[in-house]
Amino acid sequence: MNKPIVGILTWREGKRFAEPAYFKRLLRAGHKLGMTVFLFSPADVNTRKRQVRGYTASQTGWMSSLYPWPDVVIDRYRYTPTQAFKDYVAFRKKGVFLYANNRLANKWKVHQVLWKDERMRRWLPETNEYSRTGLQAMLARHPLLYVKPSNGTGGRGILRLERGKNGYRLLGRDKERAKVESRPQNTDLLCKKVDRWVNKGMFVIQQGLRLELIDARSNDMRLLIQKDGNGEWSITGYGMRLGGKNSATANLHGGGKAVAVEPFLERHFGTDKAQAILAECRQLARQTAETIEAHFGRMIELGLDIGIDVHGKVWLIEVNPKPGREIFKELGKIAQYQQAIEKPLQYASYLANEKKRQRAEA
């Protein structure tokens, strides 16, 4: 099998990169697999000469050199509210490379796509686009709600609204992920507060799930499903994330703590039910990958945020097209961590060879 040239599209400013620790591991893994792998940004591409200025890591720091046109590009450019991101989107739309993964839309659009597929519906919490009247309608139906920015990540900008005996409890995370808390006395005050929070931005309102399997904390599961060297989807692993006390979110960057899934679920549900829940999570993951690809085109990996509520019901909270894999490191699952890094490269290799074969046959 030929060893391909793989470019990783990401944010760069000078020699500062978006995810330096992950990229160093990724580059090392590529080297180990005998592949040529480099990082680059849109500004590094010379379409006319079919050359790319690529970056790799050495003992002494980052270095750059000119590379031939990559066989495959893995898009790892993550959302930031900047001009650089807008430039990336424009560049991405030109489609000058063979990309291993397509872009995903915002939370609202993704929800609509998944909802259209009847096989997905049983796992989807009720979700609507935010509006003041929509909020009131959903408040009447659910004692617990989440209001989330459609383009948010990492638990930023999220509000959790809970109806209590004396008014409401509002718990959330602002744009810097700092905790916020308040207790509006009535629906009117609550709606005013939420409206101000949303501030005309794009938000979704979602039915709140009771995920407090221990200590009144928000817990959820992160599952990583990836394409492998045969072009097939396979589940690399999963971990539970335990949110902090009084935290609306369980994201690791927001103070969530990683724990192993099996013992956690077995303690709450017993062995049989825990196994059944896990089997359902796997089925959910495979179906989600299939449904997402059918609409958005080829993907390379998906990180799913899965809610397991106090009754053992499984819910899909969010689909992340450019997920982290730190949960495996935090769990001490080093083999899974390594796999999580290598699999996308193996898939890129598979894809490059497939395309070469197809071209040769044509």
Ligand X SMILES: Nc1ncnc2c1ncn2[C@@H]1O[C@H](COP(=O)(O)OP(=O)(O)O)[C@@H](O)[C@H]1O
Binding residues vs Mg ion (CB under 5 A): 305, 318
Closest separation between CB of residue 250 and ligand X, Å?
4
Report the residue number, 301 or 318, with the smaller CB distance to ligand X: 318
Q: Cβ of 260: how many Cβ atoms within 10 Å?
A: 13
Nearer to ligand X, 67 or 238 (CB): 238
Q: What is the dihedral of CA 277, 291, 107, 163, to 10 degrees?
A: -40
- Residue 134 near which of Mg ion, ligand X, none (CB within 5-8 Å, type-dependent): none
Q: Which does 322 bind (CB under 5 to 8 A by kind): Mg ion, ligand X, none?
A: none
Supply the minimum distance, in Å, between the C-beta of residue 351 and ligand X.
27
3-state secondary structure 188-223: HHHHHHHHHHHCCCCEEEEECCCCCCCCCCCEEEEE
- Partner in contact with 154, chosen from ligand X, Mg ion, none, beta carbon below 5 to 8 Å by kind: ligand X
- Cβ proximity to Mg ion: between 104 and 345 the closer is 104
- Choose the contact partner of 218 out of ligand X, Mg ion, none; CB within 5 to 8 A by kind: ligand X
| Contact between 287 and ligand X per CB under 6 A | no
Binding of ligand X by 128 (CB under 6 A)? no
The footprint of ligand X on residues 204-243 (CB under 6 A) is 206-209, 211, 218, 220, 243
Cβ proximity to ligand X: between 130 and 146 the closer is 146
CB of 177 to ligand X, least distance (A): 9
Residue with tokens 């060297």: 229
42 interface partner picked from ligand X, Mg ion, none, CB below 5 to 8 A per type:
none
Residue 169's Cβ-side half-sphere holds a number of Cα atoms within 13 Å equal to 9
- Dihedral (Cα; 322, 325, 326, 330), 10-degree rounding: 150
Contact 146, 159 (CB under 8 A): yes
Instruction: Mark residue 95 as left, alpha or beta (left: phi above 0; alpha: psi -120 to 50; beta: remaining).
Output: left
With CA atoms as reference, report the closest residue to 290 among 68, 141, 119: 119
User: Please, are residues 22 and 11 in contact by the beta-carbon 8 Å criterion?
Assistant: no
Q: Check binding of 303 to ligand X (CB under 6 A).
A: no
| The dihedral formed by the CA atoms of 249, 253, 257 and 258, expressed in degrees to the nearest 10 | 110
Q: Which is nearer to ligand X, 104 or 158 (CB)?
A: 158
Report the helix count and the strand count for the chain, using DSSP H and E: 8, 19
Residue 11 interacts with ligand X (CB under 6 A)? no
Strand partners, 12: 17
Candidate list 4, 7, 42, 155; residue touching ligand X; CB under 6 A:
155
Min dist. Cβ of residue 63 to ligand X (A): 34
CA distance 239 to 223: 7
Cβ distance 172 to 180 under 8 Å? yes
CB of 128 to ligand X, least distance (A): 12
First to last CA, the chain: 19
Instruction: Pick the binder of ligand X from 19, 125, 184, 244 (CB under 6 A).
Output: 125
Q: Is 142 in the site for ligand X (CB under 6 A)?
A: no
Binding site for ligand X (CB under 6 A): 125, 146, 148, 152-156, 158, 206-209, 211, 218, 220, 243, 249-251, 305, 307, 317-318
